[in-house]
Amino acid sequence: MSNNALIIFTRNPELGKCKTRLAKTIGDQAALNVYKFLLQHTANVAKKIEASRYAYYSVKVRENDIWNEKFFNKKQQFGEDLGLRMQNAFQELFNLGHKKVIIIGSDLYDLDQKYINEAFTKLDTHDAVLGPALDGGYYLFGMKKVIPNVFTNKNWGTETVFKSTTKDLKNYNVYLTKSLNDIDTFEDLKPYKELEHFYK
């Protein structure tokens, strides 16, 4: 077991149940195709990270999917909202003995292993690492122990999450990684010419 643990929260890709804001513009099937592509991109990036990797499923743990057991430990999310589910995942991995734990989002075409490696390195000298998303959320969050309040009283999925989280961290030494674009809407998708084939 590595001192470093990497968490990916994944929603089972089902037609009409993922990327709903994007689907309003490009349709359910195209939105599902984009989501599957982004999940595979996230898996490919995560495989390159020197850490114990954990895929946490939102509904049910699946076999024979992109989260190959050779690379990923599979676990079930639990908790009443996204914040509690993240807190429970962090706590579970610290309880297993991991020293540094990072969670990443799965909606970023810009995600690169260098940002994750940088975050693990910065945790040597910082209490937490936060990766701002351009929509006001965050795509990466790492800690060496669960910091109180960072996962409570948040309007998840809104532009207030990053700002609210940094307030909770004001008494801690926090490193910010590069801001990246989270793909949730058609406006988020448009800058990427290489993804046009999903909707044209």
Count: domains in the chain: 1
| CA distances from residue 24 to 16, 132, 145, 200 in whole angstroms, order as listed | 10, 25, 39, 15
**Segment holding 1, helix H or strand E:** none
Question: Per-residue confidence of the chain (200 residues) as pLDDT tens digits?
Answer: 899 999 999 888 889 988 999 999 999 999 999 999 999 999 999 999 999 999 999 888 988 899 999 999 999 999 999 999 999 999 999 999 999 999 999 999 999 999 999 999 999 999 999 999 999 999 999 999 999 899 999 998 888 999 999 999 999 999 999 999 999 999 999 999 999 998 88
pLDDT digits (tens, 9 = 90+) for 152-193: 999 988 889 999 999 999 999 999 999 999 999 999 999 999
Q: What is the pLDDT of residue 152?
A: 93
- The residue whose two tokens read 């292993």 is 113
Q: pTM, whole model, 2 decimals?
A: 0.95
Q: What is the pLDDT of residue 148?
A: 87
Q: Is 55 helix (H, G, I), strand (E, B) or coil?
A: strand
Those residues with Cβ within 8 angstroms of residue 79's Cβ, 6 or more apart along the chain or in another chain: 85, 86, 87, 88
The length of the chain, given as a count of residues: 200
| CA distances from residue 92 to 23, 85, 99, 136 in whole angstroms, order as listed | 34, 11, 12, 27
Q: Of 142, 139, 68, 57, which is closest to residue 98 (Cα–Cα)?
A: 142
Phi, psi of 119 (to 5 degrees): -65, -45
Q: Which residues pair with 118 in a beta bridge?
A: none
Q: Is 106 helix (H, G, I), strand (E, B) or coil?
A: coil
What residues make up the domain containing 156? 4-198
Those residues with Cβ within 8 angstroms of residue 65's Cβ, 6 or more apart along the chain or in another chain: none
CA within 13 Å, CB half, 88? 15
Cα–Cα distance measured from residue 51 to residue 110, given in angstroms and rounded to the nearest whole number: 20
Q: What is the pLDDT of residue 13?
A: 86
CATH number at residue 108: 3.90.550.10
Cα–Cα distance measured from residue 32 to residue 47, given in angstroms and rounded to the nearest whole number: 23
Asked if residues 1 and 52 have their Cβ atoms less than 8 Å apart, the reply is: yes
